[in-house]
Amino acid sequence: MSEPSMVKNMRKELELKNDISNDGNELRRYHGTTVKCRLGRTVQRGKAQDTDDTCRLCTESTCSLCRIIETGFMTNKCRLERYQRYGKGIYTSQCSSKASEYVRYNASVRETGGFLACLSAVCLSDEISFSSSGKNTYKVMLICKVLAGRPYKTTGKDKHRRQAPKGYHSVQGIPGEDLNYDELVVYDDDAIIPDYIILYTSSG
What confidence score (pLDDT) does residue 140 get? 82
What confidence score (pLDDT) does residue 130 get? 42
Reduce the DSSP state of residue 71 to 3 states and report it.
Answer: helix
What confidence score (pLDDT) does residue 113 get? 35
Q: 24-61: buried (b, 16+ CB within 10 Å) or exposed (e) per residue? A: ebebebbbbbbbbbbbbbbeeeeebeeeeebeebbebe
Predicted TM-score (pTM) of the model is 0.73
98 φ/ψ angles, rounded to the nearest 5 degrees:
-65, -50
Q: 104-128: buried (b, 16+ CB within 10 Å) or exposed (e) per residue? A: ebebeeeeeebbbbbeeeebbeeee
Q: What is the pLDDT along the chain (204 residues), one digit of tens a residue?
A: 456 676 677 777 777 777 777 778 899 999 988 888 777 665 444 444 444 445 678 888 888 888 999 999 998 887 766 667 888 899 999 998 888 888 877 654 333 333 332 222 222 333 344 444 545 567 788 999 999 999 999 988 888 889 999 999 999 998 887 788 899 999 999 999 999 988 887 665
Sequential DSSP letters for 2-24:
--HHHHHHHHHHHHHHHHHHHHS
| CA dist list (Å): 26 to 30, 48, 108, 150 | 13, 35, 37, 11
Which is it for the CA torsion 118, 108, 101, 186, positive or negative? positive
- Cβ-proximal residues to 82 (8 Å cutoff; 6+ apart), any chain: none
The Cα 121–Cα 118 span in angstroms is: 8
- Cβ-proximal residues to 164 (8 Å cutoff; 6+ apart), any chain: 152, 170, 171, 186, 187
CB 146 within 8 A of CB 194: no
What confidence score (pLDDT) does residue 83 get? 67
